[in-house]
Structure 1
Amino acid sequence: MSENRPVDVLIARVDPEVPLPSYAHPGDAGADLVTTRSAELAPGERAVLPTGISLALPDGYAAFVHPRSGLAARCGVALVNSPGTVDAGYRGEIKVIVVNLDPRETVRFERFDRIAQLVVQQVEKVSFHEVAELPGSARGNGGFGSTGTSGSGADTTAGSAQHHS
């Protein structure tokens, strides 16, 4: 088993008062991100909320902005672009696109409320090699809910829908 050493990530505060991302509990994968401005979202509304930080990730790494399960469960808040990808070469402020999916209640965010979590991961570079036909697999081209269905009649064409009477 390899030792899990922290990865050094350079961080700059765009807002000098913003707390740095931190892990709430030992073993957490995501560090909490906060918003630097207040916002109120009516049902169905979305907003781009600033986090007040920017990063310089090492080559071979990316950061992914994930939703917070507590906000989803309590308030119906989701991230529109989830997970959001922060590439190693990006140096701008990290911003989070939130949406209020609750059909009735308005959601309010105050300055420094936790809005998302940041997961930093090593990512592989790949070389794409075009072929005329892909090798077979146990799954084949089944997708979009085909796992656990009997037979292979699932239509996996992108954008198609099946309706059964």
Structure 2
Amino acid sequence: MDETHRDRDDEGRARNARPRDGLGRPLPYGAEGVGRQPEGVVRSPEETLREAQRLLDAGMPFHAHEVFEDAWKSGPEEDRELWRAMAQLAVGLTHSARGNAVGGARLLRRGAGVLGAYRTLEPYGIGIDGLIHWARELAGRVERGAGGGLDAAAEAPRLCPLRP
């Protein structure tokens, strides 16, 4: 295969130009996939949460993870672990929906563990206790065999509790 088909930039880094499905799995070249999230977008925390929730609700947790990744890479140092944990939850849901019970449960539990440090803070209106409960409960179900046919949209968490 020549260089033009290797999805590499001029420095040889992977570009990941292959089309992907809603769970981020690569599709054959030429297949119609789901549009990728643009990389390196700087959003406010509120915009990050709104976009990630939209993607989660649409059954695209892989894409939501990319939104959280942008926040963790571009945001202030004091928020990096928060956004990294949120990305881990989204990737945990992704792996669980793909049928990877071990990886999915591990990431869900890891993200929930990190979020424990934010319990009393409720940063940006994020329902931390609800997310921790959701992640641990889903991890348990996935480990008991609920993973393979898991519907990512139906399992999507509410990031921020509804306000009256």
Q: TM (normalized to structure 1)?
A: 0.26
Higher relative contact order (CA 8 A, sep 6+): 1
More strand by percentage? 1
Larger radius of gyration: 1
More helix by percentage? 2
Q: TM (normalized to structure 2)?
A: 0.26
